[in-house]
Structure 1
Amino acid sequence: MQCQLWMGSLEPNMTESFIMAAFLRMGQRPLAVKVMRNKFTGEPAGYAFVHFQTDEESVDAMHKLNGKPIPGTFPVVRFRLNTASREARANLQQEREFSVWVGDLSPDVDDYSLYRVFASKYSSIKTAKVILDSSGYTKGYGFVRFGNEEEQRNALYAMNGYTGLGNKPLKICTAVPKPKSALITQSATSTTTSASYSSGTEYSQYYDPSAYWQNYSAWSGYYGQGEPAPQPAPTADAAQAHAAAAAAAAAAAAKAQTDDLALVDHKTCIDIEQMNQEFLDPELSLWDSLESSKWFPPDLIEAH
């Protein structure tokens, strides 16, 4: 059957009539709802199929409702929707796909708003998905799937930094597939088949490059990325004072290094006052150099 949506994470008390009423309250008009049951026990299996008049209606409902609270649930249960046609899934896997990763998504961005922004600029958009965690909250990133490689490439630079979706500029990069070994390991750790539809794991074959963008942002304090403006060059007097200070400091450092390496004759008497005077002489010469350059702040000059 075509025009179907898979709906997961159902509570045992969610009947066909309850689900139908929830869709109607959200402005959608499904034709029928079928809650699937365990063929041995007869108990609800935790998922259902929702049938619509057309494929367009089913896809529209999926993007509008995915991740939103289901009316009449407390604690809140959110819509978990995905396409349900096996043939459509097989065809989708056979076709070449061109996807982009979209980062820095605000909590208010859902599947439908992400889809609308990209669909308004690119005609080959197939799906858009905001990735959610196990509690139904956004992870801050999602994926947009294109049917045209040229439009995907255009989006990589045209939509990078886009403002108008949420409260942050978007970060865009190519969705990089994981190696098959990683996918096998990931699928082996899945507990149930129905869980694969809950948070967009059809996109789990792609890496999440959030860490790359965080590292990229860490370079924002370097040259060309908002560094402080260069200070004006010092005056001639100030330059002379700096030169004198540097020379005095170098002499003091050389003397200190020489003194540290010198052998100490413990039989001789140590003249503390003389040693202190020798230590202070370079400091006094530095002060004399600064004083002779008249390199004082204006307020200090007025105070004197």
Structure 2
Amino acid sequence: MASLWMGDIDENMNEAFITQAFHSMGETVLGVKIIRNRFTGALSGYCFLEFPDQSSAARCLANVNGKLVPAANPPKRFKLKHALYTKPSDCIPPSRTAAAEYVQAFNYYTQQFQHMFTNWKYDQKNDSYAYQQYGYTADNWPVSQSGSHTEEVCYSVPAKIIV
């Protein structure tokens, strides 16, 4: 689809009026989108016209632009230009990455690294994780209490954890 911009429209011009005006000039308009102020609802003074293809939009621009709008009171002239931007769906094809692609990648990495995470288990009784592959569990984790801080030895380096 192709779009044209139409400017200088009045309050009494609606979608049906504009479609009929182009029809009486021998042009086929698929749709009219009148732009309004989103806060007040008042007309912004322009609209966008959709045509079946680029050639019919170019023909309409050449034949109708500058001519009097039929049944316009007060008399007005068509003010048409090529639309610089069209709807995003017309400009950019939708990105439809299949969910199966993500599932396939997730399954691959899960299988590759599953052996690394199988021994990490959460112990609800002690409210901690047990890292059995390193020999650490909640029972043998090196911990010493000093005041309100807990000192833990990780890789032979003491670390203070405020509780």
Deviation of 1:17 (Å): 0.4
Q: Residue 36 of structure 2 aligns to which amino acid in structure 1?
A: R
Structure 1 residues 9-29: Cα deviation after superposition (integer angstroms, max 9, x where no partner): 001110000000000000000
C-alpha distance in 2 between matches for 1:42 and 1:75:
23
What is aligned with 1:65?
Answer: 64
Matched, 1:83 2:96: no
Which has the larger strand fraction?
2
What is aligned with 2:26?
Answer: 27
What is aligned with 1:41?
Answer: 40
Q: Residue 84 of structure 1 aligns to which amino acid in structure 2?
A: A
Whether the 8 Å CA contact 1:34–1:50 is kept in 2: the answer is yes
Query: What SS class does the counterpart of residue 19 from structure 1 fall into?
Result: helix
Q: Residue 34 of structure 2 aligns to which amino acid in structure 1?
A: V
Q: Residue 70 of structure 1 aligns to which amino acid in structure 2?
A: V
C-alpha distance in 1 between matches for 2:14 and 2:8:
13
Q: Residue 61 of structure 1 aligns to which amino acid in structure 2?
A: C
Deviation of 1:73 (Å): 1.0
Matched, 1:55 2:54: yes
Whether the 8 Å CA contact 1:3–1:85 is kept in 2: the answer is no
TM-score of the superposed pair, with normalisation by structure 2: 0.51
Task: Note the 1:198-237 alignment, pairs <5 A.
Answer: none
What is aligned with 2:8?
Answer: 9
Deviation of 1:74 (Å): 2.4
C-alpha distance in 2 between matches for 1:25 and 1:85:
26
Q: Residue 9 of structure 2 aligns to which amino acid in structure 1?
A: L
Deviation of 1:86 (Å): 2.7
Structure 1 residues 237-280: Cα deviation after superposition (integer angstroms, max 9, x where no partner): xxxxxxxxxxxxxxxxxxxxxxxxxxxxxxxxxxxxxxxxxxxx
Show structure 2 runs of 5+ residues with no match.
87-163
Q: Residue 56 of structure 2 aligns to which amino acid in structure 1?
A: E
C-alpha distance in 2 between matches for 1:75 and 1:15:
15
Structure 1 residues 208-262: Cα deviation after superposition (integer angstroms, max 9, x where no partner): xxxxxxxxxxxxxxxxxxxxxxxxxxxxxxxxxxxxxxxxxxxxxxxxxxxxxxx
Which has the larger helix fraction?
1
C-alpha distance in 2 between matches for 1:34 and 1:75:
22
Query: What SS class does the counterpart of residue 20 from structure 2 fall into?
Result: helix
Query: What SS class does the counterpart of residue 48 from structure 1 fall into?
Result: strand
Q: Residue 59 of structure 2 aligns to which amino acid in structure 1?
A: D
Larger RCO (alpha carbons 8 Å, 6+ apart): 2
C-alpha distance in 2 between matches for 1:34 and 1:71:
19
Query: What SS class does the counterpart of residue 59 from structure 1 fall into?
Result: helix
C-alpha distance in 2 between matches for 1:71 and 1:80:
13
Query: What SS class does the counterpart of residue 76 from structure 2 fall into?
Result: coil
Query: What SS class does the counterpart of residue 11 from structure 2 fall into?
Result: coil
Q: Residue 44 of structure 2 aligns to which amino acid in structure 1?
A: A
Structure 1 residues 61-89: Cα deviation after superposition (integer angstroms, max 9, x where no partner): 011011100000122100000000337xx
TM-score of the superposed pair, with normalisation by structure 1: 0.28
User: What is the percent sequence identity of the aligned residues?
Assistant: 40
Task: Note the 1:260-271 alignment, pairs <5 A.
Answer: none
C-alpha distance in 2 between matches for 1:38 and 1:60:
30
What is aligned with 2:17?
Answer: 18
State the aligned residue count: 86
Deviation of 1:44 (Å): 1.1
Show structure 1 runs of 5+ residues with no match.
88-304
